[in-house]
Amino acid sequence: MIAVQQSARTARVGTARDASPLAGTRLWNSPYLSRDEQRVLEEAASPASSVAPNVDLVREGYGTDRLLVVTEGWVCRYTTTQGGGRQFPAIILPGDVGNLDSLLFERLDFSVRTLTRASVVALSCEQALALAAQHPGIAQTFIWLALVENAILGKWALSLGRRSSKERLAHLLCELSVRLDAVDGNESHFAFPITQEQLADSLGLTAVHVNRMMQYLRAEGLVVIADRIITLPDVESLRRIGGFDPAYLHLDRSVATQLA
Amino acid sequence: MIAVQQSARTARVGTARDASPLAGTRLWNSPYLSRDEQRVLEEAASPASSVAPNVDLVREGYGTDRLLVVTEGWVCRYTTTQGGGRQFPAIILPGDVGNLDSLLFERLDFSVRTLTRASVVALSCEQALALAAQHPGIAQTFIWLALVENAILGKWALSLGRRSSKERLAHLLCELSVRLDAVDGNESHFAFPITQEQLADSLGLTAVHVNRMMQYLRAEGLVVIADRIITLPDVESLRRIGGFDPAYLHLDRSVATQLA
DNA sequence: CGGTTCGTTGAGGCCCATCAATCTATGTGG
DNA sequence: CCACATAGATTGATGGGCCTCAACGAACCG
């Protein structure tokens, strides 16, 4: 099945055959990098290290001197209110950078935490900044990564502020399917290791209500979940419900077309 | 009154005496720019042009070849749901860039619209990118601008997802007072040209409910509004209500300390 | 002075939170 | 291999925060 291959590909970005642990990463696949710049980045990257689920990689108010590039597993950013409420400003999928902010900021204003077991490649911030200063393509890549994050977060804000719970869930599922490159025709199929409570923290809802909305989507035949694998048999309908238009992910010039 | 001077300062970033229309702008005041880089940016900027209130500068799905730097007035980004719901992912204050995304993206995934009469300085995207490639400080400045936008939006997501309407409003007022550099001791005082409907679109609420929460804050003596000027007599209490901590604005290395 | 925008107020209702219990799956130690 | 513990999913009952609809007042303006 194509879908299975895709979910395998998205679950692990780099393969043993690749020269660099960064291979397949958005940082590495950036359309703004020359071969030379790609090579320079590769050399600066540390080997991947494995991290258990539910581990904080960085805590809000603290900093790191390393950029964390996730190559396997799901990671989140989270922030909390004084009352204990938790909200994810981002879900970080294989290939994404977890803490781009560390490039310029001493202290992060969010925490970064693994949702599943994950593989993380580290890159010295100092070195990354120095490389950006020497190589325009690397600098542009960082700008690009930040702008795409921004675009995604902007749509999350729209969901959080103006969409019903059902629409929010549908929109998030559509976004994940596209970001994981798991859309195959009008179907989508990918590993879905996240709990309903974590979904709730992404959507600004309670786990109980996420459960009910998930049941609704299942009853409509728009979502099938089995063995932590999710199938979206009718992506088009789900997109209509969520008001999802993939344009904001700006995949036109990125990895997707590079592979084509 | 110091407060009045501050509100004047924040309402108009550049002054007639400044050589460049960019003067006072976050782009121009970036801590990462050398004098030389500042000068190069100045030369690339067009003179400021005035725009009426409620005018779209760019529409979602379209693009511009110009970076729009707001030097006077308030501007917003907005997105809409299929049902007509509107949400601001950002409020753009004097000194901010309205459409950083245009640097790299053909089409914007939000619209940019004036809330008040505004002055806008344009900067060719092509030229800006070329300058970023030649001048590391300019490239870092763009990264910095994008990361700060991201940090702000992340906190908005926390508000939208997990804070009550009262907390949301308090948090936004605190954020605006700091971004406008209008905090003076435990008081704050600044021009407040935004309607309650526009506030609602920032907060993911209805105008009716914003009105009620505003009344609540006024009744508590935490907000005073007269002649489109807002006064926060007790910033500390307002921050406690909103769970506001200005760290996420990352002002430590920026304009504020540059002026000191 | 009439029109328009914005702020204000009230009544009623719904979406989603809250609280609590049950069920299932997984894992773990004896 | 079973008893038990734990995490996650599910279900039900109840309530509240915010929305919706509607009307009115106030300020501004040509």
CB pairs under 8 A between A and B: 166
B contact test, residue of A27, A76, A78, A82 with most B CBs within 10 A: A82
A56 strand-pairing partners: A113
Q: Which nucleotides of C are covered by protein (CB under 7 A)?
A: 5-11, 15-20
pLDDT for position B113? 98
Cβ-based neighbour number of residue A219 at 10 Å: 9
CB contact under 8 A, B158 and A252: no
pLDDT for position A52? 95
Tokens of residue B109, six digits? 């995934």
Asked if A89 and A77 touch (Cβ cutoff 8 Å), the reply is yes
CB contact under 8 A, B110 and A154: yes
Query: Nearest nt (C1') to B53 (CA)?
Result: C5
pLDDT for position B252? 75
The amino acid sitting at B243 is G
Query: Nearest nt (C1') to A192 (CA)?
Result: D8
pLDDT for position B253? 58
B87-117 as b/e: b if 16+ CB within 10 A: bbbbbbbbbbbbbbbbbbbebbbbbbbbbbe
A86-92 vs A75-80, strand pairing mode: antiparallel
Q: Which of residues 155-194 of B touch strand D (CB under 7 A)?
A: 164-166
Distance CA B197, CA B207 (A): 5
Distances (CA, A) of A149 to A125, A144, A152, A155, B53: 18, 9, 5, 10, 29
Contacts of B217 (CB under 8 A, 6+ apart): B166, B169, B170, B173, B223, B238
B196 touches strand D (CB under 7 A): no
pLDDT for position B4? 35
A86 touches strand C (CB under 7 A): no
Task: Map residue B63 onto helix, strand or coil.
Answer: coil
A206 touches strand D (CB under 7 A): no
H or E element in which residue B99 lies: none
Distance CA B179, CA B187 (A): 14
Chain A nearest-CA residue for B131: A136
Tokens of residue B175, six digits? 């954020």
Three-state helix/strand/coil letters over chain A? CHHHHHHHHHHECCCCCCCCCCCCCHHHHCCCCCHHHHHHHHHHECCCEEECCCCEEECCCCCCCEEEEEEECCEEEEEECCCCCEEEEEEECCCCECCHHHHCCCCCCCEEEECCCEEEEEEEHHHHHHHHHHCHHHHHHHHHHHHHHHHHHHHHHHHHHHCCHHHHHHHHHHHHHHHCCCEECCEEEEECCCCHHHHHHHHCCCHHHHHHHHHHHHHCCCCEEECCEEEECCHHHHHHHHCCCHHHHCCCCCHHHHHC
Distance CA B34, CA B27 (A): 12
Percentages (nearest 5) of helix, strand, coil residues in chain B: 45, 20, 35
CB contact under 8 A, A140 and B133: yes
Q: pTM of the entire structure? A: 0.93
Instruction: Give the tens place of pLDDT for each residue, B68-114.
Output: 999 999 999 999 999 999 999 999 999 999 999 999 999 999 999 99
A259 strand-pairing partners: none
H or E element in which residue B214 lies: helix B207-219
Asked if B53 and B121 touch (Cβ cutoff 8 Å), the reply is no
Q: In what order do the strands lie in the sheet with B118-124?
A: B49-51, B118-124, B66-72
Asked if A185 and A145 touch (Cβ cutoff 8 Å), the reply is no
pLDDT for position B254? 53
From first to last of the 260 residues of chain B, give the pLDDT tens digit: 333 333 434 456 655 555 678 989 999 999 999 999 999 999 999 999 999 999 999 999 999 999 999 999 999 999 999 999 999 999 999 999 999 999 999 999 999 999 999 999 999 999 999 999 999 999 999 999 999 999 999 999 999 999 999 999 999 999 999 999 999 999 999 999 999 999 999 999 999 999 999 999 999 999 999 999 999 999 999 999 999 999 999 997 555 444 43
pLDDT for position A20? 79
Distance CA A45, CA A21 (A): 7
From first to last of the 260 residues of chain A, give the pLDDT tens digit: 333 333 434 456 655 555 678 989 999 999 999 999 999 999 999 999 999 999 999 999 999 999 999 999 999 999 999 999 999 999 999 999 999 999 999 999 999 999 999 999 999 999 999 999 999 999 999 999 999 999 999 999 999 999 999 999 999 999 999 999 999 999 999 999 999 999 999 999 999 999 999 999 999 999 999 999 999 999 999 999 999 999 999 997 555 444 43
Distance CA B44, CA B41 (A): 5
Name the protein residue, with chain letter, whose CA is nearest the C1' of C6: B195
